Amino acid sequence: MKSTRILALAVCLLGATTAISADWPQWRGPNRDGISKDTGLLKAWPTAGPKLLWTFEEAGVGYGTPAVVGDRLYILGSEDPEKGDKEFLTCINSKDGKIVWKKELDNSAGGYSTNWGSGPRSSPTVDGDFVYVLGARGDLQCRKVSDGSKVWGISLVKDLGGKIPGWGYSESILIDGENLLCTPGGAKGTIACLKKATGAVVWRSTELTEGAAYSSIVISNVGVKQYITLVPGGTVSVSAAEGKLLWKSPAGKNGVAVIPTAVVNDKYVFVTSGYGSGCGLLELTADGKDGVKMKEIYLNKAMLNQHGGVINFENFLYGFSDKGSWLCLDYLKLDKDNETPAWKSSKLDKGSITFADGHFYCYGQGKGVCVLIEANPKEWKETGRFEIPKKSKFPRRSGAIWSHPVVANGKLFLRDHEVLSCFDVKGLD
């Protein structure tokens, strides 16, 4: 009888682990690489696209993606499409699209609006019993997942001496163990490490004092644990232990807006940005006990990705380039003179990308068309296409559909400002 109970418990635990592995708790998924852990998904869609499960029309204006953990979804938005005021965090039941709770963020500096759109730009980060959010004007808050009540809050501007970048704070908070990483920018240190429990400062990157860009921090453990991100001047790395500047590169530098998140693949770091910048491949090697060396393998213009993100799968890189095409790059084999892609396609307009279970979900920014393609390094091989049935009622001005796709627990989530649509991509019914 005892062995039977142990076996039953093991099965339950295995089931729980499987469910958790398919969550999407933060920006670009569990590992910040744009890759969902979900499996058993549809390899092709019906002509009309996957089944629509529900549509939620109260997400508010904003460009952040949802975070999904279990049957709860968290998303940031603003109630004011013109001024971006009254930023709020909403918790939704991902099974039926119904509100669990909704909390205003108590923004100390109000909302944020430009001709490219209003509202928060970042995605929530869920860590255990708490969810961490960052408003467009730098209001950083920790909230309880149970009811949305506020645990603590600080301002990246007033408390940490940062400066709001031209299109608003856009990074998504990184939680690493007991610490929280964010990018206030400014003379006190570009990057800040805080205690996630209280918001107290652990260290600032005092050797690095550039302003904040729009990229989000990722982790590398080559040589020494380090945090890598893009700033207006290019790509930088600081030590996780104390914020010491480890290395910097002009890769990704541009004079307008540096947006995409770096792609870390073992010892390699690939970065790209738009506005004529291009891309770069950096190689990291251990240097002594507590050091790291960075070598620029190449800087070229094979990929100019403005904001839709790029994803590495089996050493091929996929994403949209501002040259006008979706690209697949054998990126480890390129060099400063070789920019030839493995393939390119113009079968979908510019957009964002997510990976799950052998396929890429490409989301066009113009009409909200989502295309399913195989992770195929030889050609654009399409296995499904549809247009979101419901779109935002708010004027786009100079903006577009910029929220990235999210795939979690058998569902595909596509946002267009206040309209969040959920589709069955596993055949759940």
Q: Are the C-beta atoms of 380 and 345 separated by less than 8 Å?
A: yes
- Can you name the residues that pair with 226 across neighbouring β-strands? 220, 239
The domains of the chain are located at 22-424
Q: In terms of C-beta density within 10 A (0-12 exposed, 13-18 middle, 19 or more buried), how is residue 395 classed?
A: exposed
- Write down the pLDDT at residue 21: 77
Measured in whole angstroms, the distance separating CA 66 from the mean position of its chain's CA atoms is 10
- Write down the pLDDT at residue 289: 78
According to DSSP, the β-strands at 234-239 and 218-220 are unpaired
- Write down the pLDDT at residue 3: 39
Output the CATH code of domain 22-424. 2.130.10.10
- Write down the pLDDT at residue 156: 97
- pLDDT tens string, the chain, 429 residues long: the values are 333 333 333 333 333 333 357 999 999 999 999 999 999 999 999 999 999 999 999 999 999 999 999 999 999 999 988 888 899 999 999 999 999 999 999 876 677 888 888 999 999 999 999 999 999 999 999 999 999 999 999 999 999 999 999 999 999 999 999 999 999 999 999 999 999 999 999 999 999 999 999 999 999 999 999 999 999 999 999 999 999 999 999 999 999 999 999 999 999 999 999 999 999 999 999 998 779 999 999 999 999 999 999 999 999 999 999 999 999 999 999 999 999 999 999 999 999 999 999 999 999 999 999 999 999 999 999 999 999 999 999 988 899 999 999 999 999 999 999 999 999 999 986
Residue-by-residue DSSP string for 48-93: T-SEEEEEE--S-B--PPPEEETTEEEEEEES-TTT--SEEEEEEE
* Helix, strand, or coil (residue 6): helix
Where is 16: in which H helix or E strand? helix 2-21
- Write down the pLDDT at residue 107: 73
